[in-house]
Amino acid sequence: MTVSPTDTPLVEMRRIEKSYGRVQALHDVNLTIRRGEIVGLLGDNGAGKSTLIKVLSGAVPYTSGEIRIKGKPVTMTSTNDAIEAGIETIYQDSALVPQLSIARNLFLGRELTTGSLGRLDLNRMNEVAADLLKRVGISKNIPPTTPIGSLSGGERQAVAIARAMYFDSDLIVLDEPTNNLGVAETQGVLRFVREARDTGHSCIFIAHNIHHVFQVVDRMVVMRRGTVVADDLSPKTSSIQDVEDVITGDHILV
């Protein structure tokens, strides 16, 4: 039987291993992300979630295993490799330049230009930035020319999320995107995740707040001690208590 392109998973991570000396951070990890799917990646601190995401984003090398994007094997040696493969990762501590404006941070390294001389199109970048800030729930009228350094921690996180919204990536990885955000900003992020799915994009959503996860994901993957212990938990058939029990090991799936 011929597999159509739409049946091919967007991302496949197969038998991924990662060691730091004698410490086994990831052991025989398999993860599949389908097109248009929102997957919650859950687990206690030290479960391996961040390491797995850093491997997928090209931030750290993996010891062994295979990564496939749209059915084709790829080698992630840098974050640029991941970006070129259509993967945009927003970390909890996403690097922003305090001295630069909101708009300049949103387009850092991918600035819009105008004219034959390639001058920065500041007006266009400011317009896009203002619109994106509203979409992620920043209700205050903050000018896009405002330096990042003058924003609150929650507002900075919202700017990092807005940056991912603009660039048309196939997979957007959100590492604790609602951490330190207010109610309006949190709802803006969750709304963005839903919009991403509706437009055919995929997301990996990492959060300690399971209530936020349940609001947006199609499926939940749970990691514990560097391996995947459950990969098909549904918010429609599992309760928050069920998922918490799997995370802590109080409930073993059979």
- Assigned CATH for 5-248: 3.40.50.300
For 189-223, the DSSP string reads: HHHHHHHHHHTT-EEEEE-S-HHHHHHH-SEEEEE
DSSP 149: G
75 in Cβ contact with 81 (< 8 Å): yes
pLDDT along the chain (254 residues), means of 10: 62 95 94 95 93 94 95 91 89 77 89 87 92 77 90 79 78 86 80 82 90 94 95 94 89 52
How far separated are the first and last CA of the chain, in Å rounded? 31
**Within 10 Å of residue 249's Cβ, how many Cβ atoms?**
12
| Residues recorded for the chain | 254
The pLDDT of residue 94: 64
Would you say the C-alpha torsion 9, 167, 98, 143 has a positive or negative sign?
Answer: negative
Q: What is the model's pLDDT at position 158?
A: 77
Asked whether the CA dihedral 230, 231, 234, 237 is positive or negative, the reply is negative
The pTM of the full predicted model, rounded to 2 decimals, is 0.83
In angstroms, the CA 68 to CA 11 distance is 6
pLDDT of residue 169: 82
pLDDT at 221: 97
Nearest CA-CA partner of 6 in 39, 27, 36, 32: 36
pLDDT given at position 249 = 83
What pLDDT, on a 0 to 100 scale, did the predictor assign at position 3? 40
